[in-house]
Amino acid sequence: TQSTPSPLPSIADVVEKVTPAVVYISVEYIEFSFFTQYLRTKSGSGVLLRSDGYILTNNHVVEDARNIEVLLPDDDHTYQAELIGADPLSDLAVIKIEGQNFPTVSFADTSKLRIGDWVIALGNALGLEGGPSVTIGIVSNLERSFTLEESTFYDVIQTDAAINPGNSGGPLVNLEGKVVGINSAIIYTAQNIGFAINANTARRVYEDLVQYGRVTRPYLGVTLRTVTPALATELGLSRNKGVLVWYIAPGGPSAEAGLKTEDVITHFQGQEVSEASQLIKLLWEYDVGDRVGITFWRGEEQHEVWVTLAERPEGL
């Protein structure tokens, strides 16, 4: 049966609920040149997730900070913030301000998010005075992966809600006022394309940063590439669809399990995989020490191995 389209509720109610938890972040950092150094400032947004002052933002907002200040929409006080932990791989970081009973928002379960759902982006666009700016749009696509300024973004929500410089680190929320993503990147040459890190990924990163100060990720010990018909022809592969093992780390989990370069992975834990980013996203759902089943083709023969996941080394 077809569901009847529901009328769009008042966005004002959602904004009123979420805005108090959207903070303005001002950062001082040192910029070095050949002969001297300069004190610079940059700004962004963040979102309060715990009433005792834990704030999730983008790593690039607070990277290299020597001083972090936070302003709340309904508070004249300027708070000094401490960096709790940062994760450059996901472009997320957690900072903390001292105090209690701060307004908060919570994460949504984005497994139910669909293309075409309404979303609202909040943040301090362009560092303008007067509190967070609000834009509305829809989910244009899900599970995007792309590389921007040498950073690879996995499991990203694409939206046409306007995301401007300064919006970075602010929340993308659904019509219940729950966080479905963290605004993170904008492609400046394109119109109406903004990106947010999916809340299901952001939640795990946030929890790890709060608990450990860093993110522990499982590690296969391989470099992967998506198999295309052109790549299959070039390398003489028997499969023209799947995930190619491009490099194996000596002594790593995959090497120990018997995988080799130019093997083509077709299934991970019984789930078919056709893109490298898809396999990496699935991998991140598991923990260090878990055993995972990998089905792959070597030449004309299909094989299956079990790999015990190690911890991803820092700096990779």
Q: Which of 133, 168, 184, 277 is catalytic?
A: 168
What is the token pair recorded at 119? 């979303």
Q: Which of 43, 60, 133, 155 is catalytic?
A: 60
Sign of CA dihedral 51, 28, 172, 217: negative
Q: For 6-45, give the DSSP string.
A: PPPPPHHHHHHHHGGGEEEEEEEEEEE-SS-EEEEEEEEE
Is 91 assigned a catalytic role? yes
Helix (H) and strand (E) counts in the chain:
6, 20
236 CB-contact burial (10 Å; exposed 0-12 / middle 13-18 / buried 19+): exposed
**Neighbour tally for 89: CB within 10 Å:** 17
Is 77 assigned a catalytic role? no
Residues whose CB is less than 8 angstroms from the CB of residue 296 and which lie 6 or more positions away in sequence, other chains included: 242, 245, 259, 263, 264, 265, 266, 302, 303, 304, 305
Is-contact 247 258, C-beta < 8 A?
no
Residues whose CB is less than 8 angstroms from the CB of residue 9 and which lie 6 or more positions away in sequence, other chains included: 175
- CA 273 to CA 305: how far, in whole Å? 15
- CA 251 to CA 20: how far, in whole Å? 50
Q: Which of 87, 91, 155, 208 is catalytic?
A: 91
Query: Would you name the residues annotated as active-site residues?
Result: 60, 91, 168
